[in-house]
Amino acid sequence: MMQLIQELALFEKAPNEVVATTETLLQHGFGEHPLFVSWVAVQGGNIVGLALCYVRYSTWKGPVLYLEDLIVTESHRGQGIGKSLFETCIEYAKRKQYRKMVWQVLDWNTPAIDFYRGYGADLDPEWLNASLDF
């Protein structure tokens, strides 16, 4: 999983931003009180895709599944792996009766934008991202 996360950070031009480690992923995702759910795609004994989500709460909609990352290693793109992982997230959200699924996509990542538009996703240009680092 960490290799894919590092690959994504490099693709998004932010390789030095990753401070999570294998240990923190294990603690936060697979410990007693997991903060996220994830699915992986495996080929030839290697993880080649990852979807990582968590629940957030909308005061207007109720529980919402937030797709933090959908990653397919570059050499395995175009094989339906991303589609399978994305649809797994959708089915999970429906099964849990979440009201919607939300995520972000960089405005220059046209392959991802086209992928999401293929699902009829609403890409909202009005909202700006905001964050505070601690």
Helical residues (DSSP H) of the chain, grouped into ranges: 2-11, 22-30, 81-95, 110-117
Identified catalytic residue from 66, 92, 98, 116: 116
Distances (CA, A) of 49 to 83, 126, 129: 10, 30, 26
Measuring CA to CA, which residue among 96, 79, 77 is closest to residue 88? Answer: 96
Give the separation between CA 44 and CA 47, rounded to whole angstroms: 8
Question: 3-state class of 18 per DSSP?
Answer: coil
54 among known catalytic residues: no
46 membership: H or E segment, kind and range: strand 46-58
Active site amino acids: 116
